[in-house]
Structure 1
Amino acid sequence: LLLDPTGQLQSGSPLCPPEGDAGTGMVATNSVAQRTGNISAGTSIFAMVVLDAPLKEVHHEIDVVTTPDGHPVAMVHCNNGASEFAAWAQVFGQFARALGSDADDNAVFETLLRSALQGAADGAGLLAYNNLSGEPVAGLAEGRPAILRTPDSTLNLPNFVRVQVYAMFATLSLGLRVLAAEGVEVKQMFAHGGIFRTAGVAQRLLAAAINTPVLVGDSAGHGGAWGIAVLAAYRRRVLDGLQQSLPEFLDSEVFAGAALSLAEPQADDRAGFEAYLETYEAGLAIQRTAITAI
């Protein structure tokens, strides 16, 4: 009666064990078996790799959590994801409307993202930081979002958007280096989150940033809410006598026949991102100065 004063909720009703974003993201991307991995991009961005052996050392960049069925997972969690890009999309949307355009937010977002593919692979001298809050992976206590460029840089829309997308993946790339040094291997990453709804853009640039093939499925934009619904369905089936493990259930009943697109790292993108990341790391000194100065 506390939960439902109408009395319709009966004793014995099954409840799905609660999960946070990490667990629901693993389920939403079919990444609960060992040596599978997923990346969830939203307000924050994080990568999860299901381990087949314990990590050798403790790393401040890595959290160790578990899959919903109890297997250890190495997690690279970055506080800052797509929020800064969304803020810029609002600015461009306001400008479009000031010109009399009736383009909605989705059209503005997609148009901006697609322009990134025409940008220079290394950002042409532009540098973006998307830190609205502190970023422990990069050693930053507070956030100071910024766009920087050299006098000889090429400032245009494709380059601007490309470095904004790169900024989303930069600290994630730094964290995944730690796992690579530990010998943790994953053959491909499954990505989900709203930014992947625009097919082939963020997915392609993410593959370059982490030097790993990236899968995106039809459910890429659904996120954790869909993941917890899948877990609830699994719970119901187990109570009805299902003998499958969670990975077996996902493979055979949820993702069987699912439409997936795969993006391999492209050599030009990869080289461009590496050049960008080198400048990004050097520029962290600017971020630290901004925290104390502004």
Structure 2
Amino acid sequence: MSLDVREAIKSGKTVLGIELGSTRIKAVLIGEDNTPIASGSHDWENSYVNNSWTYSLEDIWKGIQDSYRKMASNVREQYGVALQTIGAIGFSGMMHGYMVFDEAGNQLVPFRTWRNNLQEQASAKLSELFNFHIPQRWSIAHLYQAILNGEEHVSDIHFLTTLAGYIHWKLTGQKVLGVGEASGVFPIDIHTNGFNQTMVTQFNELTASNQLPWKLEEIMPQVLVAGERAGVLSEEGAKLLDVTGELQAGIPFCPAEGDAGTGMVATNSIAKRTGNVSAGTSVFAMVVLEKELSKAYEEIDLVTTPAGDLVAMAHSNNCSSDLNAWVGLFDEFAKAMGLDVDANKLYGTLYNLALQGDPDGGGLLAYGYLSGEHMTHFEEGRPLFVRSSESKFNLANFMRVHLFTALGALKIGMDILLKQEGVKLDQILGHGGLFKTEGVGQTIMAGALNVPVSVMETAGEGGAWGIALLASYTLNKADNETLEQYLNDKVFAGKAGSKVEPNAKDVEGFEAFMKRYTAGLAIERAAVEYLK
């Protein structure tokens, strides 16, 4: 096998995907069968500068170059060859945010990431204007807020893009975005797979009095769908990506995508009536719709798959952080008792106890709001655990209620889709840390959503693998072969996974918990007001 892989590497039949997540940059090289053959990663963190969450350009390139170098070293160690050419490359990154450049290509203000919540005024105004929910983290909300703020740099903008779009531009010279990523910049017309021209005109009319020297369509990137070629690695780009100078220019690129789209690809959940849930520090569900929703909802974002199909996204800022903190407390207790417990065993034991708790969590209540939660209209959060004298306070219920609350805000958004809009879902694909302990996260999620939840063995490969698959599709797709067909036939065929069906008692128990959860939001509000 390694001889075949070695020849594929030498002859450029591999594909590279690199994704820039919020805490890690990962590079994955895949072989002709679309399975990973080498990888490298780089840890990084955002900085809080002048009231804004950001990453510097220096840190972006340092991280990309380090992850690429480690991946290339991994190739050399395993197969004894230098990585000089690749069949295709794709980049993805955290969606949304604000990166703007002047005519000379100079960055005008530091990168403003999705994490910033300073665009409330712009979000509300644009949502009303378009009759379409524009979240604060979307690029257009960042832009309009900068206009409302009277920021001087706005008149100098020549190009507005995202993190993935910026990297793609620097490596290829092409100002383009994949449609899934573009759908977090500005609303997409799903009939044309381009930016919604009616809304573009509305925006230009809205800002006409500001006398800007540009029109919106002049500064935004071109939109491409999965499978389209999106330029090639330039000579300058090759030196920027591989500082050793071994990588050759001319390698084709797929359109840059966002982490939501690559998560959908990595879990093979881009078909209608399917969805995926990514559950880690935050949690979001992506549901591929059969038809448009009846109206705009503040709790639901409308984006697209990398192929351009409409997706409803329910996003919660908080998921497992507070849960992890409680597990950390139990770890401290174990150490204080002279016990050295393996982390996997600790998580596994505590998570499995949750399955033995009362269906509704024994009357306990918790909020894992480490930060604000837009789904329930909190700008700030306070992690909170509450019980009454009648609650059944034991370890099983304690763990169960903390797993419940990790999905509480998400369920509010999903109930809008499944109950109010009648959206049909055949199954949800789960990935992320919440699903690491076999069967537990799936069971809780199935009870929360009343939908079968599956976890694929390949789900752990993550978004870097997802963007590599999109690059592979661009390079290897047959005529008229859709992305859905390519994934089903050439990537996921025969792949094992596990499915958990919803249990009636779990569904009923979660609904009972949610009544406490919504009624108790006043307690969380009081905690925010009191604990300044």
Contact 1:25 1:227 in 2 (8 A): yes
Contact 1:32 1:50 in 2 (8 A): yes
Who is 2:514 aligned against? 277
Tell me how far 1:293 sits from its aligned partner.
1.2
CA gap of 1:99–1:222, structure 2 versus 1, over 3 A, is: farther
CA gap of 1:111–1:242, structure 2 versus 1, over 3 A, is: farther
The one of 486, 495, 503 aligned to 1:249 = 486
**Alpha-carbon distance in structure 2 between the residues aligned to 1:277 and 1:135:** 16
Task: Read off the aligned partner of 2:467 and give its amino acid letter.
Answer: I
Task: Read off the aligned partner of 2:295 and give its amino acid letter.
Answer: E
Tell me how far 1:77 sits from its aligned partner.
0.6
**Alpha-carbon distance in structure 1 between the residues aligned to 2:471 and 2:353:** 39
Tell me how far 1:285 sits from its aligned partner.
0.8
The one of 202, 205, 212 aligned to 2:451 = 212
- Offset from partner CA, 1:89-115 (integer Å, 9 cap, x none): 111112212222222222211111111
Superposed structure 1 runs of 4+ greater than 4 Å apart: none
Helix, strand or coil at the partner of 1:141: coil
Contact 1:37 1:186 in 2 (8 A): yes
Tell me how far 1:263 sits from its aligned partner.
1.2
Task: Read off the aligned partner of 1:289 and give its amino acid letter.
Answer: A
Contact 1:61 1:137 in 2 (8 A): yes
C-alpha RMSD over aligned residues:
1.6
1:116-135 pair list within 5 angstroms: 116-135=354-373
Contact 1:192 1:219 in 2 (8 A): no
TM-score, normalised relative to structure 1: 0.94
Who is 1:264 aligned against? 501
Contact 2:334 2:341 in 1 (8 A): yes
The one of 253, 257, 261 aligned to 1:19 = 257
**Alpha-carbon distance in structure 2 between the residues aligned to 1:51 and 1:64:** 10
Task: Read off the aligned partner of 1:31 and give its amino acid letter.
Answer: S
Who is 1:150 aligned against? 388
Task: Read off the aligned partner of 1:190 and give its amino acid letter.
Answer: L
**Alpha-carbon distance in structure 1 between the residues aligned to 2:243 and 2:431:** 37
Higher relative contact order (Cα pairs below 8 Å, separated by 6+ residues): 1
Contact 2:277 2:283 in 1 (8 A): yes
Range with greater deviation from structure 2 (51-60 or 101-110): 101-110
- Offset from partner CA, 1:134-185 (integer Å, 9 cap, x none): 1111122211111100012122111110000000111111101111212221
**Alpha-carbon distance in structure 2 between the residues aligned to 1:98 and 1:133:** 30
The one of 108, 111, 117 aligned to 2:349 = 111
CA gap of 1:243–1:9, structure 2 versus 1, over 3 A, is: farther
Who is 1:197 aligned against? 436
Who is 1:82 aligned against? 320
Range with greater deviation from structure 2 (156-165 or 226-235): 226-235
1:39-54 pair list within 5 angstroms: 39-54=277-292
Contact 1:47 1:77 in 2 (8 A): yes
Which consecutive residues of structure 1, in runs of 5 or more, have no partner in the other structure?
Answer: none
| Residues paired across the two proteins, number | 292
Which consecutive residues of structure 2, in runs of 5 or more, have no partner in the other structure?
Answer: 1-238
Contact 2:273 2:427 in 1 (8 A): no
- Offset from partner CA, 1:224-281 (integer Å, 9 cap, x none): 233223223323324xx66522111110121111112211111111111111110000
Alignment of 1:187 onto 2:409: no
Contact 1:36 1:187 in 2 (8 A): yes
**Alpha-carbon distance in structure 1 between the residues aligned to 2:333 and 2:461:** 29
Contact 1:138 1:171 in 2 (8 A): yes
Range with greater deviation from structure 2 (158-167 or 65-74): 65-74
The one of 175, 182, 186 aligned to 2:413 = 175
Tell me how far 1:33 sits from its aligned partner.
1.4
Tell me how far 1:196 sits from its aligned partner.
1.0
Who is 1:92 aligned against? 330
CA gap of 1:253–1:69, structure 2 versus 1, over 3 A, is: same
CA gap of 1:222–1:113, structure 2 versus 1, over 3 A, is: farther
CA gap of 1:88–1:225, structure 2 versus 1, over 3 A, is: farther
